[in-house]
Amino acid sequence: MTHPLRAILWDMDGTLIDSEPAHEAAFFSALTEAGLTVPEGLHAELLGASGDTVFAALRRTTETAMTLTQWTDLKHRHFERHARAITRLETAALAEQLAARGVPMALVSNSTADEVTFCLRATGLDTLLTTVVTRGDVANGKPAPDGYLLAAQRLGVAPGDCIVIEDSRTGATAGHAAKMQVIYHPQVPDARPLPGAQYLAPGLPIAPLIEAFLGTPALT
């Protein structure tokens, strides 16, 4: 990076909000209703994956006769039941500060439009992040760069002037593929190298990195 960057592209689940417990509970509740079992550890392997990728894994590991639409509807119904588990993370307060300073921001998620809308409204972030790209907006979900490139286009910012903030390797890979600066800030430690991303261990403050990338005054 040779100049301050201009825009921030946020992931949602696990980055701005802690919705992963709700997603996990909905996943297993939906499996139970459908009478399906999956290999141990499959859900963890699919962290950050899009709904169609998850469904492909179900088709590969079970004998389900459901369609993608049926699975999506079933899982979303259970997701709404577990919505009380959704909370804001500390990064949401940073997003509010950056918005007040006029920093262009967008949200890019592998979740469906229904799930993203539901989560943003449930956490009061719907008025803060008005440029939103969901899985249905692009041909290819993360780890493909499509979502991040579309978000930059909608903001009118060059990809090289964007910071991507992600908690999953899937999303961080997408940001790197879009030729953007990436902060990879997972919720659990990850010792595996991820080329093209700035790794920030769980529990460490992210504000100094954002300040350095943007060249902004200190965030609190």
- Give phi and psi for 118, each to the nearest 5: -60, -45
Residue 155, token pair as written in the block: 């903001």
Task: Single out the catalytic residue among 11, 18, 146, 167.
Answer: 11
Strands (E), the chain: 7-10, 17-18, 87-88, 105-108, 132-133, 162-166, 181-184, 198-199
13 is catalytic: yes
For the beta sheet containing 105-108, the strands, ordered from the edge strand earlier in sequence to the opposite edge, are 132-133, 105-108, 7-10, 162-166, 181-184, 198-199
Q: Are 140 and 117 in contact (CB under 8 A)?
A: no
Query: Can you spell out the DSSP letters for 122-144?
Result: HHT-TTT---EE-GGGSSS-TTS
In whole angstroms, what is the distance from residue 128 CA to residue 54 CA?
A: 29
Whether 100 contacts 132, CB under 8 Å:
no
CB 42 within 8 A of CB 61: yes
Q: Which residues, in sequence order, are bridge partners of residue 105? A: 8
Annotation marks residue 114 as catalytic: no
Report, as residue numbers or ranges, the catalytic residues. Answer: 11, 13
